[in-house]
Structure 1
Amino acid sequence: VASVLGGIAGWALGYYAYDTIARPVLEFYGKLDAFEQMRTYIHDEWEILLLLLVTSGLAHLPPIKIVTILAGVIHMNL
């Protein structure tokens, strides 16, 4: 339950508060460059869905929190 709520919170940050909250947090943790690089390669909801499914099971790929924020930024339907 907590993981799902965390994913929804990440999506909401990307969807509603990217410039004011999510971007400064990504900068603080040094993840903004990786986020922006992923953002340029993601073009539709199917790509982000695949990335969400893959990253949820593999730790060496981008952190799921970054992917959920990205899902909100591209306005993927919750």
Structure 2
Amino acid sequence: MTAAILLWSVKAAQVMLAAAMGCYAYRLIRGPRAQDRVPCLDAMYSHARRFIATGAEGWPDAPARSILRPPYSRQGASDGGQ
């Protein structure tokens, strides 16, 4: 049950971050001045980082985790990696 709550909360956070990024994109497009657009870009950047971070937590079998595996196998390690 705890895993289900965790996955639900991660998905809810992603939906809220996507909604916030949509609001910032609207403000970026409709902003009357450059002073309004610069904070929007900054906020969108920080929200995008958080969106990526929640995505990394949401999928435990993500392909990005395979990058952390060593490039060699245990069988080749005994003969000096040749």
- TM-score (norm: length of structure 1): 0.30
Q: Which has the higher helix share?
A: 2
Q: Which has the higher contact order (CA 8 A, sep 6+)?
A: 1
- TM-score (norm: length of structure 2): 0.29
Q: In terms of Rg, which structure is larger? A: 2
